[in-house]
Structure 1
Amino acid sequence: MRRRRFATPTWLALWTGLAALVAGVVIWATAPSASFGWFAYAPLAGAVFDPVTHSWQQVVGLLTAVVGAVVAAFAAGRLSARTRGGR
């Protein structure tokens, strides 16, 4: 008998997690890089300016990839612990 890969919620979670992982990597990789430039320099200033250089696509892509990896890893672990005879 042939098994269907979407027959159980664990298989569905595995494929959904892998899809989210791939989508997150694609979103993160295609995000535009930050464009800023220094137009003035104050060498004796006491304050340090550290601009945030991440666009929202980079943050969302990274979070989506991490959540997808966690879901896929959980589902793969659950599938690996399953017995051969039962569901």
Structure 2
Amino acid sequence: MASPSRGPATIGLIVASALVAAGMVVWFTVPDTGASFGWFAYAPLADQPLFPFIIHGQRLVAAGLVVVALIIAGVVVGFLWGRRVGRVETHPGPDPFADPEAG
């Protein structure tokens, strides 16, 4: 039996962790320059962007890395949970197709 530390689940968790770390590094090292939207029919009321919540550029890449990492982690957790549930030994009940008179 193979050690669980060498299985595909461990590799998946390592990859997911690396992607989360890369996403966090990119997110926090990119300067926040604000989005450029081009032409406006009116001047904004302040010096801040009109839509400050829009993610753009390299921060979008960072968010994408984290989303991919979460998907990989979800697949790994589902895989491990399925293996664990599959190993649970269940005691079969009465056979519904057995002949009651044969007993």
Interval of TM-score (by shorter of Structure 1 and Structure 2): 0.5 to 0.7
Q: CA deviation at 1:81?
A: 2.1
Q: CA deviation at 1:65?
A: 0.6
Structure 2 gap segments, 5+ residues each: 36-41, 45-49, 88-103
Cα 1:50–1:12 change in 2 (3 A) is closer
- The answer (yes or no) to whether the contact 1:34–1:54 under 8 Å persists in 2 is no
* Aligned mates of 1:16, 1:59 — CA distance in 2: 19
- The answer (yes or no) to whether the contact 1:17–1:71 under 8 Å persists in 2 is yes
1:72 and 2:73 matched: yes
Which is higher, the Rg of structure 1 or of structure 2?
Answer: 2
Q: CA deviation at 1:50?
A: 6.3
* Aligned mates of 2:75, 2:86 — CA distance in 1: 21
SS at structure 2 position matched to 1:81: helix
CA RMSD of aligned residues (A): 3.6
Q: CA deviation at 1:82?
A: 1.2
Q: TM-score, normalised by structure 2?
A: 0.54
* Aligned mates of 1:70, 1:16 — CA distance in 2: 11
Q: CA deviation at 1:55?
A: 4.5
Cα 1:63–1:2 change in 2 (3 A) is same
Higher relative contact order (CA 8 A, sep 6+): 1
Structure 1 gap segments, 5+ residues each: 44-48
Residue-pair matches, total: 76
Cα 1:84–1:26 change in 2 (3 A) is same
Q: CA deviation at 1:29?
A: 2.0
* Aligned mates of 2:14, 2:59 — CA distance in 1: 23
